[in-house]
């Protein structure tokens, strides 16, 4: 009985620590309504579960405790009498589920106050419309095939520019050594779907629906990047990108690879020192505690059982958590 009680306590403790207060706010100027709500995957797309409160003028907000994960949502009012309408590619949205355009949110180990967005609009568009620069770095060191000409990025275009309109060889990356390939691409504000390929379409990445950092439309699952500012994305060939809060707001930008892993997870930041790393199993038990004080950290997975883990990492900008998978 004591073991069962302890296990239950650990599960409850983990569930509690995994909750993060997320504040949603929207400017309802120009809308005729009685009560606005936030509706999304976190409440089963309910039109009444999470009402917003009027704060000042036309600004309405609500704070919800959410577990780490990726969510889609939108603002609605009067039990779905009205809802936001977006165009595919709007920078604060992703298009998934066969053509549904929703706002996107990644919760990763920290509270967030989301920027106040106009109803049916993106806050990012008002503050920094672009154009922007995308730097793509891809680790091909574990690629089992042969690379003849180049590694390519293939994805959507917008306003006549973008990621090659899925053309194959149009946008090659440069071999920078040690299995790394890189490209710098000017892009307008937009949410671009893409994937990495080899020698045009000789080989391509393959993802499953619901893999982190991907969206699925009409049976095609691709990566995506939201260009609301200059971005650097660090990828590993054919490995789903573990998105996190800091990656989205470009504050820290943790890169974790390989993930899943059998022996080691490598963690890098662009310009921050990782002061502490704490690794927890799915029961909330701390299995590792490190104080590296480095920007590049290796987490030894060799002695850990196969399964799911969470690493909480702290820098001067705060703490953030990422999901780790041991194969």
What tens digit of pLDDT does each residue of 177-212 get?
Answer: 989 999 999 999 999 999 999 999 999 999 988 888
| Residue 10 confidence (pLDDT) above 80 | no
At the top level of CATH, which class does the domain 128-238 belong to? mainly beta
pLDDT above 80: residue 302: yes
- 81-84 long-range Cβ contacts below 8 angstroms, 24+ apart: 81/33, 82/31, 82/33, 83/39, 84/119, 84/120
**pLDDT surpassing 70 at residue 225:** yes
Using CA atoms of 246, 284, 279, 114 in order, give the dihedral in degrees to the nearest 10: 0
How far, in whole angstroms, is CA 185 from its chain's centroid?
20
- Pick the range with the lowest mean pLDDT from 100-109, 167-176, 246-255: 246-255
Instruction: Tell me: pLDDT of 97 over 80.
Output: no
Higher-confidence residue: 315 or 296? 296
pLDDT for 313 beyond 90: no
Which pLDDT does position 18 carry in this prediction? Answer: 55
Residue spans per domain, the chain: 2-127, 128-238, 251-327
Residue 258 is predicted with a pLDDT of: 86
Contact 244, 212 (CB under 8 A): no
Higher pLDDT, 37 or 322: 37
Lowest mean pLDDT of 3-7, 24-28, 30-34, 45-49, name the range: 3-7
Tens digit of pLDDT for each residue in 271-282? 678 888 888 776
Confidence at 226, pLDDT banded by 50, 70, 90: very high
Q: 96-103: long-range contacts at Cβ-Cβ below 8 A with a sequence spacing of 24 or more?
A: 96/72, 96/215, 96/216, 96/217, 97/216, 97/217, 98/217, 98/218, 99/217, 100/72, 102/40, 102/72, 102/73, 102/74, 103/40, 103/72, 103/73, 103/74
Q: How many residues does the chain have?
A: 327
| Mean pLDDT calculated for residue range 99-108 | 88
Instruction: Look at the domain 251-327 and name its fold.
Output: Immunoglobulin-like (2.60.40)
Question: What is the per-residue pLDDT across 107-120, written as a single tens digit (0 to 9) for each?
Answer: 877 788 889 999 99
DSSP letters spanning 28-63: -TT---S-EEEEEGGGTT-SSSSB-EEEETTEEEEE
| CA–CA–CA angle 199, 147, 178 (5° rounding) | 130
State the average pLDDT over residues 84-107: 91
Q: What does the alpha-carbon distance between residue 135 and residue 115 come to, in Å, rounded to a whole number?
A: 25
Please tell me if the domain spanning 2-127 has the same topology as the one spanning 251-327: yes
pLDDT tier, 295 (very low <50, low <70, confident <90, very high otherwise): confident
Tokens standing for residue 126: 């008002």
What mean pLDDT, rounded, does the chain reach? 86
Residue 77's Cβ-side half-sphere holds a number of Cα atoms within 13 Å equal to 17
Q: Which CATH architecture has domain 2-127?
A: Sandwich (2.60)
Residues with Cβ within 8 Å of residue 5, at least 6 apart in sequence: none
Most confident range (mean pLDDT) of 29-33, 257-261, 266-270 is 29-33
């Amino acid at each position: 009985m004591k073991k069962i009680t302890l296990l239950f306590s650990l599960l409850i403790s983990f569930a509690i620590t995994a909750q993060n207060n997320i504040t949603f706010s929207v400017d309802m100027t120009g809308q005729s309504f009685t009560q606005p709500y936030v509706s999304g995957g976190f409440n089963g797309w309910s039109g009444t579960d999470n009402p917003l409160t009027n704060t000042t003028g036309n600004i309405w907000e609500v704070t919800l405790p959410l577990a780490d994960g990726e969510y889609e949502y939108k603002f609605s009012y009067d039990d779905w009498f009205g809802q936001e309408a977006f165009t595919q590619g709007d920078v604060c949205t992703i298009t998934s589920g066969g053509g549904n355009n929703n706002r996107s949110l990644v919760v990763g180990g920290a509270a967030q106050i989301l920027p106040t967005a106009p109803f049916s609009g993106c806050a990012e568009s008002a503050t920094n419309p672009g154009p922007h620069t995308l730097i793509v770095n891809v680790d091909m060191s574990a690629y089992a095939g042969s690379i003849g000409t180049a590694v390519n990025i293939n994805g959507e275009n917008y306003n006549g520019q973008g990621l090659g309109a899925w053309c194959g060889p149009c946008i090659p990356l440069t071999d920078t050594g040690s299995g790394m390939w890189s490209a710098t691409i000017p892009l307008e504000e937009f949410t671009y779907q893409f994937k990495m390929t080899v020698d045009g379409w000789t080989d391509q990445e393959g993802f499953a629906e619901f893999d982190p950092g991907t969206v699925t439309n009409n049976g095609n699952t691709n990566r995506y990047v939201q260009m609301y500012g200059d971005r650097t994305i660090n990828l590993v060939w054919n490995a789903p990108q573990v998105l996190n809060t800091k990656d989205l707001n470009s504050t820290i930008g943790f890169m974790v690879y390989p993930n899943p892993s059998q022996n080691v997870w490598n963690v890098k930041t662009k310009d921050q020192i990782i002061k502490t790393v704490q690794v927890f199993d799915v029961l909330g038990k701390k299995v590792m505690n490190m104080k590296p004080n480095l920007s590049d950290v290796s987490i030894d997975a060799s002695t850990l059982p196969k399964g799911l883990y969470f690493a909480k990492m702290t820098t001067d900008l705060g703490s953030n958590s990422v999901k780790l998978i041991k194969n």
